[in-house]
Amino acid sequence: MKCKTLHKKLIFFLEGDLPPTKIEEVQIHLDGCSSCAAFAQELKLTLGIIGIEKNPDVNPYFYTRLKAKLENRATQNSPAFGHMILAKILQPAFFSVLLILGIYSGIKIGTPASTKEYTITLMQNQKIPYLNEMVTETIETSLME
């Protein structure tokens, strides 16, 4: 038997899953080949460690301590009633009012100031008589002269 074929069957050999004829062939090869025997010994140690670690000892109080910690965390993270009101009702209402105020102020800022009323008031007071000549005299009349 070649070393490559032995390496493929070695895990099954160590676990005892091979038929008796194949077990004899593997054993004969391991007796004759020192490198494959060392590899088999190393693999056996590795599988032994994995077998030990697969079934760890369970602490009987682990579940009760874990359950107590989870319950403690749940009580710490539960929000108070006042916090729920603030988060679910007052916060959206505040931001809605803020949005409405922002829209209203934007509209007020965006509307142009009424210059017509301002100029009429100034002209009546005679402070600036020629502020807006276009109101008093149209273009057509100035071109006709």
Is the pLDDT at 127 greater than 70? The verdict is no
Is the pLDDT at 24 greater than 70? The verdict is yes
pLDDT at 50: 81
Q: State how far the Cα of 129 lies from the Cα of 131, in Å rounded to an integer.
A: 6
Alpha carbon 70 to its chain centroid, in Å, reads: 23
Alpha carbon 113 to its chain centroid, in Å, reads: 49
pLDDT at 123: 59
Q: How sure is the predictor about 62, in pLDDT bands with cuts at 50, 70 and 90?
A: confident
The predicted-structure confidence for 111-124, as pLDDT tens digits, reads as follows: 776 656 656 665 56
pLDDT at 67: 87
CB-based contact 36:29 (threshold 8 Å): yes
Supply the mean pLDDT for the chain.
Answer: 78
pLDDT at 97: 95
Q: State how far the Cα of 85 lies from the Cα of 94, in Å rounded to an integer.
A: 12
Q: Who contacts 28 (Cβ-Cβ below 8 Å, separation ≥6)?
A: 1
Q: State how far the Cα of 3 lies from the Cα of 26, in Å rounded to an integer.
A: 10
pTM: 0.38
- Selected residue with higher pLDDT from 142 and 18: 18
